[in-house]
Structure 1
Amino acid sequence: MAAAVMVMVMVMVALTVCINVDVAAGQGLCKMTQEGLTACKPSISTVKAEANPSEACCSALKQANLTCLCSFRNSNLLPYLGINPDLAMQLPAKCSIAPPQTCN
């Protein structure tokens, strides 16, 4: 399940690029702001990813709706957008966040 949560985090960052207009208009993706998504990207990047997420990333992830993010876990956009799915799946654990009970 932790792996699925990480994948969904990567997907949300990827989808931010696709829905940038909504986020810029004050909307968020699964209760994460554009700033939160941006803060997490260095930890899940396919190019020189940082070993540990920033405090800003973890704070944003703690506010996020992880169940909502699960709905994006199977997206093929992640690698295309420079997001390493394996690193994304590790993000909640690195932020000491429990994964959601269900992640279909």
Structure 2
Amino acid sequence: MDTRLNIIIVSVLLVVMATVSNSQTVCNATVAGLQSCLPAAKPPNPPPPTAACCASLKHADFCCLYSYRDSPLLPSLGVDPKLAFLIPDKCHLSHPPPSHC
């Protein structure tokens, strides 16, 4: 197969994968929305959550999100779960405390 054709196929696949993954949801929040919350959950001095982050959490299932608190994925992304659990309060969203899930 021609090298240029391989590059085109790989490029198309990457665009499709990025589009699909960003439109998928986790706990009723889009992956893209959750990604916008990452800076607010990274130590040592996280910025406030963005409007996009807060909007993405508006309909989130917080008990579902809390179930990921011990996931090895969070540290690999540089996320501190304690900081992540503060984001709903900073967004002024009502949510159950993790201990009630």
TM-score, normalised to structure 1, is 0.65
Match for residue 96 of structure 2 among 91, 100, 103: 100
Secondary structure (helix, strand or coil) at the match of 1:73 reads: coil
Deviations 1:4-38 (CA, angstroms, capped at 9, x unpaired):
xxxxxxxxxxxxxxxx88x6284310111122011
**1:60 Cα deviation from its structure 2 partner:** 0.4
Contact map agreement 1:32 1:61 (CA 8 A) in 2: yes
Q: Secondary structure at the match of 1:63?
A: coil
> Structure 1 stretches of 5 or more lacking a match?
1-19
Q: Assess, with a 3 A threshold, how the Cα gap between structure 1 residues 36 and 90 changes in structure 2: closer, same or farther.
A: same
Q: Percent identity?
A: 40
- Give me the whole-angstrom Cα distance separating, in 2, the residues matched to 1:94 and 1:68: 19
Q: Which amino acid aligns with 1:59?
A: A
Secondary structure in structure 2 of the residue aligned to 1:83: coil
Higher relative contact order (CA closer than 8 Å, sequence separation 6+): 1
Q: Which runs of 4+ in 1 moved over 3 A?
A: none
Cα RMSD over matched residues? 2.3
Structure 2 CA distance for aligned equivalents of residues 30 and 100 of structure 1? 14
Unaligned runs of 5+ in 2: 1-16
Does the C-alpha gap of structure 1 residues 77 and 98 become closer, same or farther in structure 2, counting only changes over 3 Å?
Answer: same
Question: Structure 1 residue 72: deviation in Å?
Answer: 1.4
Instruction: Tell me the equivalent position of 2:34.
Output: 37
TM-score (norm 2): 0.66
Partners of 1:47 and 1:82 within 8 A in 2: no
What one-letter code is carried by the residue in structure 1 that aligns with 2:59? Q
